[in-house]
Amino acid sequence: MTTTKQQRTLTGVVTKISGKNTIRITVSERAVHPVYDKVVKRSRSFLVHDNESVANEGDKVEVISVRPISKLKSWKLVRVVEKGKTIESGSK
């Protein structure tokens, strides 16, 4: 009998392009503090494998968990959900 493990998916914002096929994303969430009952923003960063180099900084992306690709990379880019704003530098 073959069992398949359900893969975990996350949605985050690309904060850095770090290498040829690697991006860093930040996943933010809002949670209520258990003692103080205040809404606190929590964020975590993940290194993601972007094989085709389609994501740019500021893009909102969806990633899926995979087997470890390297020491710190165990996520793979599924798709770019929303393109980020790009700033074009023009001459005067």
Count of domains forming the chain: 1
Surface-to-core class of residue 67, CB atoms within 10 Å of its CB (0-12 exposed, 13-18 middle, 19+ buried): exposed
Is there a domain that residue 66 lies in? yes
Taking Cα atoms as reference points, which of 34, 33, 51 lies closest to residue 42?
33
pLDDT computed for residue 27 by the predictor: 96
Statement: residue 5 has pLDDT above 90? no
Where in the sequence is the domain holding 29, given as residue range(s)? 9-82
The whole-model pTM stands at 0.80
Q: What CATH number is attached to the domain comprising 34?
A: 2.40.50.140
Taking only the tens place, the pLDDT of each residue in 17-70 is: 998 999 999 999 999 999 999 999 999 999 999 999 999 999 999 999 999 999
Q: Is residue 56 part of a domain?
A: yes
The verdict on residue 51 lying in a domain is yes
Please indicate, yes or no, if residue 16 is contained in any of the structural domains.
Answer: yes
Q: Please report whether residue 44 resides in a domain.
A: yes
Single-letter code of the amino acid located at 27 = V
Residue 92 has pLDDT above 70, yes or no: no
Q: Tell me whether residue 76 is in a domain.
A: yes
> What's the pLDDT at 30?
96
**What pLDDT is stored for residue 20 in this prediction?**
92
Which residue(s) pair with 28 in the sheet?
43
User: Is the residue at 4 inside a domain?
Assistant: no
